[in-house]
């Protein structure tokens, strides 16, 4: 099965696609862990800003990458949702630039969105195998 490809012109062998899916999911988990650690333990302003910027970049990247490279697995509704979440992350970066203590509830939402996105990306693998 690892040598199979779909009929899409940008198709990868199944094994490479599975690895790519894992590689796309892991940063969402990593950032969720870092955000939660900062929320619980505090962080210096540079670290906090770097994590928020990385989170924003990741959401912007994935909102463009998934629809382009996994077109069959990403519905129009999902594309719109990714765009809206990406726009939301821009607002989060501005709202929380002073630190998580400014709005602990908002940072918990961001952590939850990142964990959910990790799970959704991993679910693409199951969808592609059925």
Distance CA 7, CA 105 (A): 44
Cβ(20)–Cβ(96) under 8 Å? no
End-to-end CA distance of the chain: 12
Predicted local distance difference test score (pLDDT) of residue 4: 42
Predicted local distance difference test score (pLDDT) of residue 32: 96
Write out pLDDT tens, residues 67-84: 787 676 678 888 888 889
pLDDT band at 51 (very low <50, low <70, confident <90, very high): very high
Cα 105 → chain centroid: 19
Predicted local distance difference test score (pLDDT) of residue 73: 67
Is 41 or 13 the better-scoring residue by pLDDT?
A: 41
Spans of all domains in the chain: 14-129
The greatest distance separating any two alpha carbons of the chain, rounded to the nearest whole angstrom, comes to 50
Of all residues in the chain, what percent carry a pLDDT higher than 90?
30
Cα 1 → chain centroid: 27
């Amino acid at each position: 099965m690892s040598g199979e490809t779909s009929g899409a012109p940008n198709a990868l062998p199944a094994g490479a696609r599975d690895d790519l899916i894992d590689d796309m999911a892991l940063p969402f988990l990593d950032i969720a862990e870092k955000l939660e650690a900062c929320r619980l333990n505090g962080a210096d302003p540079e670290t906090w800003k770097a994590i928020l910027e990385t989170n924003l970049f990741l959401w912007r990247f994935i909102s463009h990458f998934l629809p382009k490279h996994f077109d069959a697995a990403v519905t129009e509704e999902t594309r719109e949702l990714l765009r809206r979440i990406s726009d939301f992350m821009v607002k989060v970066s501005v709202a929380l630039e002073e630190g998580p203590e400014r709005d602990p509830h908002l940072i918990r939402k961001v952590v939850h969105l990142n964990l959910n996105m990790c799970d959704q990306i991993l679910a693409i693998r199951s969808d592609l195998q059925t």
